[in-house]
Chain A
Amino acid sequence: AQSVTQPDIHITVSEGASLELRCNYSYGATPYLFWYVQSPGQGLQLLLKYFSGDTLVQGIKGFEAEFKRSQSSFNLRKPSVHWSDAAEYFCAVAHSWGKLQFGAGTQVVVTP
């Protein structure tokens, strides 16, 4: 069965430091992978997606993610976080057309 695991429930990072959020998936075929961000009181916004091709994907707000098939991972990174990056981040995999399975989310807290 397909699954998405985000091992870190909560991460605290200092403003200006780098950030990496982990995502592992279990999927039989080539996965379609996504990272979404949810700011407090808001809906989910797509940060980036991977379908095929270059395994390093650039997204909005300075985020990037790298697909590693051998590790079944799709980790999200940002070189230098800003206070506005405090939010909850969700990794997702497309089951079949239309259905996304979301991970449990990682809450990111940014300290001054």
Chain B
Amino acid sequence: DAGVIQSPRHEVTEMGQEVTLRCKPISGHDYLFWYRQTMMRGLELLIYFNNNVPIDDSGMPEDRFSAKMPNASFSTLKIQPSEPRDSAVYFCASSSQGLAESYEQYFGPGTRLTVT
């Protein structure tokens, strides 16, 4: 398996622009997580999905952030409009609710977002 795939790996954009981050989870995994990592706040869970349905979005910082999972193999995290304080590394992770694998999350390589 190729693991969790994220694109782009790096994104530089200007303040006010829309940014879309993409994630392809591991095939067969039914949970998908979006995290944000910054020096100041560490690793924060933004939202997670189970079977394509958002379960907990309490970590989404504000209405400028939205996430979708239209099918089991694709998810997006959108920021509109972007602001410099959104600069961070965004990780996608997936997991499977199997007996031996419960709770174990597999992380993608991350997208480094810079908003100027």
**A residues touching B (Cβ–Cβ < 8 Å)?**
32, 34, 36, 41-46, 49, 51, 90, 94, 97-100, 102-105
Q: Is the interface of B mostly helix, strand, loop or mixed?
A: strand
Q: Within B26-85, which residues are at the interface with A (CB < 8 Å)?
A: 31, 33, 42-43, 45, 48, 50, 55-56
Of all chain B residues, which has the CB nearest A103? B42
Given the complex, which residues of A lie within 8 Å of B33, measured CB to CB?
98
Contact A98 B55 (CB under 8 A): yes
Contact A102 B43 (CB under 8 A): yes
A43-B4, A43-B91 known; A100 vs B109 contact (CB < 8 Å): no
Contact B107 A100 (CB under 8 A): no
Number of A-B contacts (CB under 8 A): 53
Given the complex, which residues of A lie within 8 Å of B31, measured CB to CB?
98
Shortest CB-to-CB span from B64 to chain A, Å, is 23
Contact A100 B102 (CB under 8 A): no
Which one of A45, A46, A97 contacts B97 once the chains associate, using CB atoms below 8 Å?
A: A97
- 13 chain-A/chain-B pairs, Cβ below 8 angstroms: A41-B109, A43-B93, A44-B43, A44-B91, A44-B93, A46-B104, A51-B103, A94-B103, A98-B33, A98-B50, A98-B55, A100-B105, A103-B42
